[in-house]
Every structure is written in C-alpha cells, then in structure tokens.
Amino acid sequence: MKISAISLQQPLLRGERRPRVALVGQPGTGKSTIFRAAAATAVEHERLAGAGPAYEECLVDVGLDQISLVDLPAIESFHHLREPDRVVLKYLLWGDCWPAIARHESQQPAVAFRAPEVLIQVVDATALERDLELCLELSLLGRPLVIALNRMDEAREKGLYINVRALSDQIGVPVVPTVAHMGVGLTDLFAAAVQAARGNTCPLPQPPSPHIARSLEPLNALLGRPEVEEAFRVPRPLLLLRVAENDDYFLQELAEHFPELTAAATAARSAAESTLPRPLAEELHADRHHRAALLFENVSSLGGHRGARSWQQWADELFLHPRWGLIGSMAVFALVLFMVFEVSAFLDGLSSARLAAWAQEWQPESTAGVVGRAVVDALIGLVSIVVPYMVPLVVLLVALEESGIMHRVAFVVDRGFHHIGLHGGVAVPFLIGLGCNVPAISAAAATATGRHRVVASLLITFVPCSARSAIILALGGKYLGGLGVFAIFALTLVAIAVIGHLLTRRYAPAGPGLVQEIPPYALPHWRNILAGTWERTSDILTIVTPLLVAGSVVMALLSHIGADDVINTLLTPITAWWLGLPVALGVPILFGVLRKELSLLMIYQALGTTEIVPLMSPSQILVFLLFLSFYVPCVSTFAVMLKTLGRREALFSLALSVAAALAIAGAMRLPLALLEPLLS
C-alpha cells in the first residue's frame, strides 16, 4: 500500500484560533454568491448595531482549518460615506468593541461581533478600475486582504485581460481569479484567506501622491498624538484621510472629544489646501482615482482576439451555469435512470432472472430442504442486487466522479440540499440509492461526516431503489396509470424534504459550511474506478450476505410451519384496521423486509391471482404502494446502517421508516377513498 505524507500547517485555525473572514465589496460584484457557495445549511442573520441591512455569518471548513465567514452589506466607497457604509466601516474597524469616541451613540452594537481578522474584497473583473479605488481604501485598514477577482469569464468575453500576478505584486495581497456562480476558484480563494490569517500579511502601503502627502504632514502630526490614537483606535493613514476629506463623522467626533485641537486641525487643512489646485477633499478623491486608473492600465489590456472557447468551457456552461447547470444535472440523472431501468433490467434478465427460474423448479418439503432453498434464494437475491443494479450503477457514478462531472453536479444542487440540512456533496449517494440503498449508505458514510452522514443515511432509506421502483411501475403502471405512478414518486420527494427538515431539528446544530471543489476535467482511469467500486460495494460480502441468508432462512421456516395465518392475524391492526387492506397482505408486508421483489410475488400468492383489481380497489393499491415505498427498504439496508451508524441510529432508522410508512399511507387512505371514482 502506497502511503503519502501530507504536511500539516501549525497551528490549526480552529476553536479560539478560528479567524473571522469578512466578504466586502461594491454592490453587484458577486459577494453574496461566494458566500452562498460556501455557506452552511444554517446561517445566522443579524443587523449591525441593530440598524441598517443585515449581515450573514456561518462557519466554513477550509481543509483542516475553520473560519467564521461573514457576508457584510455592500460598501461603495469611503468617500462621502453614506450612513449604511459608515456602519460597515465601524464594524470593520472595531467590531462590537467601539472606542471612546463612539460609546455615546444611541445605536450601539446589538450582538457580539469581533472585528474581522481577514478581508476578502470581491472585485468585478469587468469593472476593475472602479473596484480598485475601494481596494486602495481598504488597504488603509491594516488588515490582511485577499482579492477575489470575480467574473473572469465575462471579462474574457469582453476582451479584457488582467495580469493577476502583476496586480498581486503591486497591491501586495493575494489575487485569486474566480467565477463565483460556477464555483471556479473558490477553493483557492478560501485557502488564500486562511494563509493570510496565518501569516498576518497586510497590503503594501498605498499613500497618496507625494505632493499631497507633503501638504498633509502638519495634520498627520496633529492626529498622531497618543490620546487621539487611543480615542479613535483607527489606523493613522485612514484617520488622516478621513479628516482631510472633511468626513462629517470623524470631524464631529474630533471636535466633541478634542475641542482644543479643532482650530489647529482646521488650520492644517486650510494650509494643505492652499498648496493644491483644488479643494483638499476633491484633490484626494481625484488622486485616488488617478492611482487606481494607473494600476488598472499596468495590469490589464483591452481588445485583441479572444480565441475559440475550449470544450472545457462549453462543458462548464452545461454543468455549472446558474441557468443551464440544472440541464447538465438532469442529464446525469437521466443517465442514472437509464442505467437502472434499461441496462440493469437487461442484466437482471440475463443473471438473477434465470437463476430464479432455475431455483423455482426445486420445491422441497422437508425442513432441511426448505432451509437449503432459503439459502439458495438468499444468494440469488444477493446476485440480483449486486450484478445488475449495484455494480453497473456504482461504476458509472465513480467514473463520473473521476471525470470531475459529479463535483459540478454537487455544486449545482448544493443549494437544494441545503433545504434539507445537507450539502451537495451527498448527491452521489442519493443517485446510487436509485439503484440500491446499500452502497448508497456506504457512499454517504465515506463522503460525509458528523450529522451530515447520519441525516443523509437516514434519508437515503426513503429513496426509491430499483426493487421498490419495479413494484411501483409493475402495479401502479398497470392499475393506476402514469399519473398514479408520478404521484407516488412526487410524494416520495416531498416526504424526503419534510423528513429532512425534521431531522435537522433532531441533529441540530447544523455543521459548518463546505467549499465545493471544482476539479479540472480528467479521463477516468480503470484502476481508480475498480478501487472506488470495491470500496462502496465490499460491505455486501462482509455485512449483508450473512444477514440476508439468516433472514431468508427464518422467513422460510415461518412459512414452512404454517405461520402465515398467525402472521396475518397479528398484523391485522396494521393491514385491515389502519391501512384498509386485505388481511392476507400481512405476510407480503413482513416478507418485504427481506427483499422488496418478494412482495410482488407474494401478493399474487396471498390473493391467489395475478389480477388483483377485483380483490383490491385502485385506492387500496395506491395505499399499499405508498406503504411499501416508505417501509423498511430491506434487511440488507438495515445491516449496512448497523455498521456505518451504530445500533442506536440503525434502530431509529427502522422506527422512522415504519412510522413514516404508517403515517403517510394511513393519512392518504381517507382522501383516496373519497377520490375512488376518479381512480377507477
């Protein structure tokens, strides 16, 4: 076995060392898109000082490190600060620990809010010159800064080329190209933010032009007094420019707390203004605009041939675009359904169907023969699960993972999974569940951790596997029509969403956010495919097989000793009283725990005919199919739950599925009876 060493950077940024990282930027730059792409399933919403627009915050795992990610309200500029921008600036400077100059204000911090240690400025690459002005102002805060150069795809489409390395060198901060709505570059962005927090590296000084700096020296000396710095707790370069630009807030606080300095400050401003061609505030703003323009010219070029788009870009448009990305995800979903209902059904006919037909000729009457037949049936059932349904589907999905496609599907569906308290990374296990719940739960255990692993595993048991789908299509398609079949599958989706909401309360609090990695496309390697397939199906041999054989033997012995009537009688409160079904269906319901495929055959045996409509109404058929859809998938699923989640959660899953089946099927019984004329 090849073992690779991974260097661990110390100290880990978790717990008390966890940095607060704030997303800042102009309106419309994609700041909130980046936050949503990394956000946890549960996000805190608070208002700054109890007023103004709300900010959002959640924990996000970045490798082994963890950050508190804050999406602050948009801020346009420090020049002529609007009140909402002033509130944001206060929190960037002081958090909830306001200095002496701000303690008299009526709107004090309403909640605990530590000032962010790292800033991520989200910049619109198509409007870089405008956003560079805000960047020059943010550099005065003296905090580690990372620039997310967003909308790089749109910039390229417009023929704008930006030298990312040159921009990083001139500002002195990491610059990470991103396409936020496609998840491109976000992994590198948050890794850079963690490194900035660990290294505490701040931007290079961005002072005004030399002639302005010389004119501000007297005012700078005045504001450098220790008592002024202690009262304001603002980096000197920022305080100097705010007072020099005649900022109402800072001038008012200076006059109120240091009235003896007001005349001197006014005189220093007037003296500086006398050496400049324009008023000081206008000169500072024009100078900042000029420096941003020069910086833009140095790092960008316009025009030129954009070149043909690569196939990777076209593929990303299909799988990652906000509008078209769902089409790619639906195409993958359609491919999975084709594999389950066409390819797997064909393989089933070649393998397990022939074995079952061969075993059907053996009808033993002795106890030993019955036990032997039960073992054979269990092994045939195992083959019918593994060969046609499990292996082909797992191979397909592992190949899609290796190619990078499934990572893109996970990114697109991430927001949808958030509604049931999960991340999009569990999309693959849910798709595997359409073939068989057993490898799906194993995949969930391998790809998720903590509460996400538990909730995903519990919900996967409600995903209609191929066996349950076959029964729904066989009975529902024949007696209920396409609308009835669609209603069953639609109700399954609704039930998964509702149960997911309930489970998030049981397993609160929600876990941290997760940055969905978007790897480059790659050609799957057969060795990796085989290794991944074995990893997700190996539990069949070690866990499922013994329990499947034992369950088959127990069920066969019960039938052999004539316990059918006893079972039907014991289950009468469920079948006849609660569900309104024929009493004879108690045995098919019980034996369905072993394998769902057995239920269909045993229905025919219990009712003594393959034409069940005279004995069951359409509403009864629909109730029965709903019950089977949510009832315990099979003993194999329970076995895997027992291994991956432990006895407590496995038993809870068992109780949850039984309760859901009884509640949903029982609740639908009365309205379906009223709608009986429409179903007939």
Quick: pLDDT tens for 448-464: 777 788 888 999 999 98
Residue that wins the pLDDT comparison between 172 and 598: 172
User: Taking Cα atoms as reference points, which of 108, 147, 137 lies closest to residue 234?
Assistant: 137
Q: How confident is the model at residue 678 (pLDDT cuts 50, 70, 90)?
A: low
Q: How confident is the model at residue 608 (pLDDT cuts 50, 70, 90)?
A: low
User: Taking Cα atoms as reference points, which of 572, 665, 669 lies closest to residue 617?
Assistant: 669
CA–CA separation, 58 and 20 (whole Å): 10
Mean pLDDT of 259-282: 87
Percent of the chain with pLDDT over 90: 20
User: Taking Cα atoms as reference points, which of 448, 428, 453 lies closest to residue 645?
Assistant: 453
Range with lowest mean pLDDT among 235-244, 505-514, 541-550, 601-610: 601-610
Q: Distance between alpha carbon 677 and the CA centroid of its chain, in Å?
A: 44
Collapsed DSSP state (helix, strand, coil) of residue 150 = strand
Report the alpha-carbon angle 620-622-628, nearest 5. 105
CA–CA separation, 155 and 244 (whole Å): 36
pLDDT at 176 over 50: yes
Residue found under tokens 């959640």 = 58
Dihedral sign computed on CA atoms, order 608, 610, 615, 620: positive
Burial 128-157 (b: 16+ CB within 10 A, else e): bebbbbbbbbbbbbebbbbbbbbbbbebbe
Residue 433 contacts residue 466 (beta carbons within 8 Å): no
Range with lowest mean pLDDT among 167-181, 189-203, 508-522, 603-617: 603-617
What confidence score (pLDDT) does residue 609 get? 65
Q: How confident is the model at residue 24 (pLDDT cuts 50, 70, 90)?
A: very high
pLDDT at 1 over 50: no
CA–CA separation, 630 and 661 (whole Å): 5
CA distances from 404 to 271, 339, 409, 417 (A): 63, 19, 9, 19
Mean pLDDT of 633-640: 80
Residue 413 carries which DSSP code?
H
What confidence score (pLDDT) does residue 246 get? 85
| DSSP result, 337-399 | HHIIIIIHHHHHHHTHHHHHHHHHT----SHHHHHHHHHHHHHHHHHHHIIIIIHHHHHHHHH
Range with lowest mean pLDDT among 35-49, 52-66, 286-300: 35-49
What confidence score (pLDDT) does residue 602 get? 63
Dihedral sign computed on CA atoms, order 200, 204, 206, 211: positive
- Average pLDDT along the chain: 83
What confidence score (pLDDT) does residue 483 get? 83
What confidence score (pLDDT) does residue 4 get? 46
Dihedral sign computed on CA atoms, order 561, 565, 567, 570: negative
Collapsed DSSP state (helix, strand, coil) of residue 14 = coil
Q: How confident is the model at residue 599 (pLDDT cuts 50, 70, 90)?
A: low
Residue 564 contacts residue 549 (beta carbons within 8 Å): no
Q: How confident is the model at residue 26 (pLDDT cuts 50, 70, 90)?
A: very high
pLDDT at 509 over 70: no
Q: Distance between alpha carbon 673 and the CA centroid of its chain, in Å?
A: 40
pLDDT at 370 over 90: no
Phi, psi of 517 (to 5 degrees): -75, 135
Beta strands in 493-536, from DSSP E residues, in sequence order: 513-514
Mean pLDDT of 152-157: 87
CA–CA separation, 643 and 649 (whole Å): 10
pLDDT at 3 over 50: no
Percent of the chain with pLDDT over 70: 91
What confidence score (pLDDT) does residue 629 get? 86
pLDDT at 20 over 70: yes
What confidence score (pLDDT) does residue 617 get? 84
| DSSP result, 223-270 | HT-HHHHHHH---HHHHHHHHHTT-HHHHHHHHHH-HHHHHHHHHHHH
Q: Which fold has domain 15-206?
A: Rossmann fold (3.40.50)
Domain locations in the chain? Answer: 15-206, 210-276, 317-679
> Residue 168: what residue type?
S
Dihedral sign computed on CA atoms, order 116, 514, 449, 528: negative
CA–CA separation, 150 and 25 (whole Å): 11
Q: Is the pTM of this model over 0.85?
A: no
Burial 586-624 (b: 16+ CB within 10 A, else e): bbbbbbbbbbbbbbbebbeebbeeeebeeebbbbbbbbb
Range with lowest mean pLDDT among 8-17, 53-62, 248-257, 647-656: 8-17
pLDDT at 510 over 80: no
What confidence score (pLDDT) does residue 604 get? 62
